[in-house]
Amino acid sequence: MNKALRKAVIAGNWKMNKTPAEAKELLEGILPLVKDAGCDVIACVPFVDLQTALEVTRGTNVKIGAENCHWEKSGAYTGEISAEMLTAMGVEYVIIGHSERRTYFGETDVTVQKRVRAALDAGLTVILCVGEYLEQREQGITDELVAMQTKIALGGVSKEELSRVIIAYEPVWAIGTGRTATAQQANEVCAVIRATLAGLYGKDAADATTVQYGGSMNAGNAAELLAQPDVDGGLIGGASLKPADFAKIVSAATEG
Ligand code: PGA
């Protein structure tokens, strides 16, 4: 049990919500409520909101992330954004492999690996999402599946680079459904991810890596989830759009 060795990280995933003007308003609501946070606080926002979000949070304890990036530096990839474009703006984090990208936009473990590589090369910190569908949980293959997703995504990532990787365990059946994993389920799979990291990089590196839970985490259930020994933070969708709820989760992480 080495929770003290790693940072608790609460990251909002705004998904496809908020115009720049709305982003400013939301962040201005969040900032005063989380200014004394004892954990890292990140807002991952739509590409068009990044500039505004960076300006509004300058000099504060809230860091800004994107929700995806492409694996090439530039080129004929209509509609895509490169990791270099993000770092050039001052963005520090990027979500990679979210289940919505895997499900709706053809993201595979292989493209996730390429995006992780590009993001790390550009100097970003990656929030790598893994997680099972309900049928996979019912089939009893969650642990193998999540271990495999983690291994493929981290193919070629060095131990030194792992310090710029956060892993988010997000059971697909819990995302946006109001159906949260139990604290025990969340902890079990976060522990499987940590054991997978230990196999790849050794125990010290695994103990130093932040593993978040995501999937209907909210102001009411965050404390119990974040108190689990292997749950080091949360990736928050719906509740990250509500300042008071998001702030409650941040306080729960500080205590957890
Ligand atoms: P949710 O989303 O909190 O709305 O379930 C979590 C996520 O998709 O990262």
Q: Please report the atom of ligand 1 found closest to the CA of residue 217.
A: 3
* Ligand 1 atom 6 nearest Cα: 237
Report the pLDDT value the prediction gives residue 4, as an integer from 0 to 100.
77
Report the pLDDT value the prediction gives residue 1, as an integer from 0 to 100.
47
Ligand 1 pocket, residue 235 CB under 6 Å: yes
Q: Please report the atom of ligand 1 found closest to the CA of residue 177.
A: 5
Pocket test for ligand 1, best of 99, 170, 212, 226 (most atoms within 8 A of CB): 170
Residues 24-62 have pLDDT tens digits of 999 999 999 999 999 999 999 999 999 999 999 999 999
Tell me phi and psi for residue 6, to 5 degrees.
Answer: -130, 160
* Ligand 1 atom 3 nearest Cα: 237
Q: Which two tokens stand for residue 44?
A: 């991952």
What is the rounded distance in angstroms from the CA atom of residue 104 to the CA atom of residue 111? Answer: 14
Low-confidence ranges of the chain (pLDDT < 50): 1
* Ligand 1 atom 1 nearest Cα: 237
Query: Which residues form the catalytic set?
Result: 98, 170
Degrees, nearest 5: CA angle 107-191-124: 45
CA 11 to chain centre: 6
Ligand 1 pocket, residue 97 CB under 6 Å: no
Which residue is associated with the tokens 């770092």? 87
What is the rounded distance in angstroms from the CA atom of residue 114 to the CA atom of residue 80? Answer: 14
Report the pLDDT value the prediction gives residue 2, as an integer from 0 to 100.
67
Ligand 1 pocket, residue 221 CB under 6 Å: no
CATH topology of domain 9-255: TIM Barrel (3.20.20)
Contact 32, 25 (CB under 8 A): no
State pTM to two decimals.
0.97
